[in-house]
Amino acid sequence: VECSSAAEALAAAGAGADIVLLDNLAPQELHAAAAQVKAAHPGVTVEASGGIVLGSLPQFLGPHIDVVSMGCLTHSAPGLDFALRV
The pLDDT of residue 80 is 81
pLDDT tens readout for residues 21-63 = 999 999 999 999 999 999 999 999 999 999 898 899 999 999 9
The pLDDT of residue 73 is 65
Mean pLDDT of 1-16: 97
In angstroms, rounded to a whole number, what is the distance separating the alpha carbons of residues 2 and 54? 22
Check pLDDT > 90 for residue 12.
yes
Check pLDDT > 70 for residue 8.
yes
**What domains can you pick out in the chain, each with its CATH number?**
2-73 (3.20.20.70)
* Cβ atoms 3, 34 nearer than 8 A: no
* CA 2 to chain centroid: 9
Pairing of strands 2-3, 45-49: unpaired
- Grouping H, G, I as helix, E, B as strand and the rest as coil, residue 44 is coil
